[in-house]
Structure 1
Amino acid sequence: MGTWNEGAFDNDDASDFIDDLAEAPDWRTVIQMLDHVTKSAGYLEAPEGQMAVAAAAIVAAAVGDVAILPDDRRDLKAALGAPPQGAVALARSALARVVAPASELDELWQEGDDHDAWLTQIAALQTTLSASQ
């Protein structure tokens, strides 16, 4: 797991996800990732979890504080516009799935000393998403 911090975009998979989205801004990309993760009944692999957290953070930035996004990607909020109906609920569900049992990402964070800090980041995203409903 190429991770350098606990933030939503502080890993290789999330960074690649937002970079690809910046090249072709489209809410469908975000929604597809969130939908895939929420419908995942089996073991959720870490890369999918990291991209789901990034996708949820993009929704949170669109409905809340743009500072959630990396400095060089804050223009994505304007490029995407308002998220489609249901995106906030889907983002909240995806975040819940990422911290649920059978999530490799959560397991990997539990192995280190920063699990609580990572959970705090997830909770902050959930709070931003909840405030918009």
Structure 2
Amino acid sequence: MGTWDFGPFDNDDAADWSGDLQDTDPARRAVLIRETLDEVLHEDEYLEADVANQAIAAAAVIASQLPGGTPLTTAYAPDFLTAGETLDLPDDLPALALRALDRIAGDDSEWSELWEDGLPKALAALRPVREALESAV
């Protein structure tokens, strides 16, 4: 896994997932986001970093679509979103994303282990995403 910073799209897994979302039929994008979050929430064993990184990107996409959410400006976010397009997302996705972020930051998570030395910075980078999601729940 290549990681270059703490942001939601600052790793190869998230960038690849972003490309998948870009290439997905617009009518199915919300389904891909839900499936990505569900994969985290249905993992009863050790949560691998690639799955976590993709779900963090999905949470950032959801947060960007909420009132007060931070627009996505990174080159690694889906092009349709950085160009100003929007997504029609179900109302339950912010709560689902929060649960996924909690799982990712918790025990039995490779993401938390990989960021062990820089965990406060990694969590701080997710704070704007979390705050936007919390305001919608």
**How would you bin the TM-score normalised by the shorter chain?**
0.7 to 0.9
| Shift in Å, 1:33 | 0.7
Work out the percentage of aligned pairs sharing the same amino acid.
33
- TM normalised by structure 1 equals 0.88
Counterpart position of 2:4: 4
For the 8 Å contact 2:47–2:109, the answer to whether it is kept is yes
Does residue 73 of the first structure (1) align with residue 78 of the second (2)?
yes
For the 8 Å contact 1:109–1:118, the answer to whether it is kept is yes
Q: Structure 2: any 5+ residue segments left out of the alignment?
A: none
| Shift in Å, 1:124 | 2.3
- TM normalised by structure 2 equals 0.85
Distance between the aligned counterparts of 2:73 and 2:62, measured in 1? 10
Residue 56 of structure 1 aligns to a residue whose secondary structure is helix
Counterpart position of 1:94: 100
Within a 5 Å distance, the mapping from 1:24-103 to structure 2 comes to 24=24, 25=26, 26-64=29-67, 65-71=69-75, 73=78, 75-76=80-81, 79=85, 81-103=87-109
CA offsets per residue over residues 50-82 of structure 1, 9 Å max, x none?
001011111111114352352563633765522
Distance between the aligned counterparts of 1:30 and 1:106, measured in 2? 22
For the 8 Å contact 1:37–1:97, the answer to whether it is kept is yes
CA RMSD in angstroms comes to: 1.9
| Shift in Å, 1:131 | 1.3
| Shift in Å, 1:115 | 1.9
Equivalenced residue count is 131
Q: Structure 1: any 5+ residue segments left out of the alignment?
A: none
Amino acid at match of 1:92: L
Amino acid at match of 1:120: A
Q: Which of the pair is proportionally richer in helix?
A: 1
Q: 1:38 to 1:96 in 2, by over 3 A?
A: same
For the 8 Å contact 1:2–1:11, the answer to whether it is kept is yes
